[in-house]
């Protein structure tokens, strides 16, 4: 059974308090894709190392995770990895094509292809490299900020496994939902089982907060989301928390980020997730009215707002802070930061969150 390592004492627990709904003296902030191509030091590093080699080598993944923490006053680190390590663990080949993104040379085409998946997955064997990276990074962070672990949600991973890469319509994977609902549920359940064990392993390795990325929720309508996404998201949170408790591991807070699922915000808040992430299309006050007071919200500045001059970024952050209020909020962008963004504009975003949310006493 997994046992917890000992780690340096945590000096900044703002994000953990905000996630649990405890009082904070200022709003914590982190940014999706904060370790990545917009940083010149990451681009330099990538010239020397292949993407999945970085993910699979704990020392390299740790170094890249720490890059944004050295530069900015962030309140959390997120382990460098990718959501597509789960499809790899299930036996599919995934390549990262520079400048293009992920590519599956042999995606799933028909339900008979499910037989190609290597099931059940031995998570420790296939994904143990992520656990090692987490443990090393937690040590190297020296308690400066908490470390976030993550995974892709079942529908988002299923869609990559069928589309074979990014797709503007997801028409092939959505076709499965309508033409092969039973095979779709079978695949979604297999992915869910891996997600639960994978997140548990991340906590055992030292992750202090988790995020589940349902990046492709927006292309599902409400009906399809309630049928093919939400039940699996719910299963992940409830089974994970039960397993953590049974194994005497820390019951860490979990964030669900279902991009584009404005149509199911209430349902998302009625789950065992502690935090609901918002994309930039949702209005903070409306979202708060919809979800009530018992859940923390995360988000949600339009990432493209970082293209504006610094003064406008500050004004946008001030407005966002007024909308969310001072408690039960984790500041973030409404999706990941883009590769061509100026890191100094990200600094303005981070510093103005702290400036505008600092409490008097
Ligand atoms: C959390 C995370 C992810 N990827 C990376 C991280 C690292 C940690 C961090 O956030 O800093 C590194 C991470 N992952 C990738 C990169 C760039 C690859 C490179 O360096 O060449 C980086 C830094 C590659 C990647 N991997 C993926 C894409 C998107 C492709 C598409 O358009 O469909 C891309 C471009 C899949 C992916 N990967 C991820 C998501 C969920 C978040 C989101 O919605 O953006 C998704 C959808 C999650």
Residue pLDDT, tens place only, 204-259: 999 999 999 999 999 999 999 999 999 999 999 999 999 999 999 999 999 999 99
Res. 167: pLDDT tops 70: yes
Tell me the average pLDDT across 152-169. Answer: 97
Which residues are bridge partners to 210 per DSSP? 149, 254
User: 3-state SS of the chain: helix, strand, coil percent to 5?
Assistant: 50, 10, 35
Percent of the chain with pLDDT over 70: 99
Res. 350: pLDDT tops 90: yes
DSSP summary character for residue 150 = E
pLDDT of residue 98: 85
Q: Is residue 264 part of a domain?
A: yes
Sheet strand arrangement including 77-78 = 77-78, 147-152, 209-214, 254-258, 275-277, 296-301, 329-333
Rounded to whole angstroms, the Cα distance separating 78 from 63 reads 12
pLDDT of residue 360: 77
Q: Is residue 6 part of a domain?
A: no
Residue 112 CB-density burial (10 A; 0-12 exposed, 13-18 middle, 19+ buried)? exposed
Total structural domains in the chain?
A: 1
The verdict on ipTM greater than 0.85 is yes
Q: Is residue 4 part of a domain?
A: no
Q: Is the pTM of this model over 0.95?
A: yes
**Residue whose structure tokens are 């190392």:** 49
Q: Is residue 228 part of a domain?
A: yes
Spell out the residues 6+ positions from residue 315 whose beta carbon is closer than 8 angstroms to its own.
none
Q: Give the pLDDT band of residue 361 (cuts 50, 70, 90).
A: low
Distance 82 CA to ligand 1 centre (A): 6
Q: Is residue 9 part of a domain?
A: no
Q: Return the CATH number at 261.
A: 3.20.20.210
Rounded to whole angstroms, the Cα distance separating 355 from 104 reads 44
Q: Is residue 8 part of a domain?
A: no
Mean pLDDT computed over every residue of the chain: 97
Length of the chain: 361
Rounded to whole angstroms, the Cα distance separating 101 from 260 reads 21
Tell me: the pLDDT tens digits for 102-151?
A: 999 999 999 999 999 999 999 999 999 999 999 999 999 999 999 999 99
Tell me: the pLDDT tens digits for 70-88?
A: 999 999 999 999 999 999 9
pLDDT of residue 1: 42
Q: Give the pLDDT band of residue 348 (cuts 50, 70, 90).
A: very high
User: Residue 125: which domain range?
Assistant: 14-357
Res. 2: pLDDT tops 60: no
DSSP summary character for residue 272 = S
Q: Which residue's alpha carbon is at the smallest distance from atom 44 of ligand 1?
A: 215
Q: Is residue 263 part of a domain?
A: yes
List, chain by chain if needed, residues with CB within 6 Å of any ligand 1 atom: 32-37, 46, 51, 78, 80, 82-84, 96, 98, 101-102, 150, 166, 213, 215, 336
Distance 1 CA to ligand 1 centre (A): 31
Rounded to whole angstroms, the Cα distance separating 220 from 233 reads 14
Instruction: Say whether the peptide bond before residue 120 is cis (omega within 30 degrees of 0).
Output: yes
pLDDT of residue 4: 58
Q: Which residue's alpha carbon is at the smallest distance from atom 35 of ligand 1?
A: 101
């Amino acid at each position: 059974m997994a046992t917890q390592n000992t780690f340096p004492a945590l000096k900044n627990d703002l994000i953990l308090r905000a996630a649990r709904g405890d009082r904070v003296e200022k709003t914590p902030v982190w940014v999706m894709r904060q370790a990545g191509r917009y940083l010149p030091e990451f681009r330099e590093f990538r010239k020397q190392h292949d993407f999945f080699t970085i993910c699979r080598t704990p020392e390299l993944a740790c170094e890249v995770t720490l890059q944004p923490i050295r530069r900015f006053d962030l309140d959390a680190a997120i382990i460098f990895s990718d959501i597509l390590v789960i499809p790899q663990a299930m036996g599919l080949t995934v390549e990262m094509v520079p400048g293009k993104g992920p590519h599956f040379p042999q995606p799933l085409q028909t339900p008979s292809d499910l037989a190609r998946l290597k099931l059940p997955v031995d998570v420790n064997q296939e994904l143990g490299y992520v656990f090692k990276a987490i443990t090393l990074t937690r040590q190297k962070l020296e308690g400066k900020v908490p470390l976030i672990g993550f995974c892709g949600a079942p529908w988002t991973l299923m869609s990559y496994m069928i589309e074979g890469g990014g797709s503007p319509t997801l028409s092939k994977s959505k076709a499965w939902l309508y033409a092969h609902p039973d095979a779709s549920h079978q695949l979604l359940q297999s992915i869910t089982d891996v997600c639960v064990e994978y997140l548990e392993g991340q906590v055992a390795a030292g992750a202090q907060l988790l995020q589940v990325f349902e990046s492709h929720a927006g292309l599902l309508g409400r009906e399809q989301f309630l049928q093919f996404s939400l039940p699996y998201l719910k299963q992940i949170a409830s089974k994970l928390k039960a397993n953590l408790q049974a194994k005497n591991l820390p019951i860490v807070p979990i964030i669900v980020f279902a991009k584009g699922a404005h149509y199911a915000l209430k349902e998302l808040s009625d789950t065992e997730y502690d935090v609901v992430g918002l994309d930039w299309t949702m209005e903070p006050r409306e979202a708060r009215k919809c979800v009530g007071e018992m859940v923390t919200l995360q988000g949600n500045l339009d990432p493209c707002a970082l293209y504006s001059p610094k003064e406008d970024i500050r004004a946008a952050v001030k407005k966002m802070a007024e909308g969310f209020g001072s408690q039960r909020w984790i500041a973030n962008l409404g999706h990941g930061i883009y590769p061509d963004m100026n890191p100094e504009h990200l600094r303005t975003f981070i510093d103005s969150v702290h400036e505008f949310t600092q409490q008097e006493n």
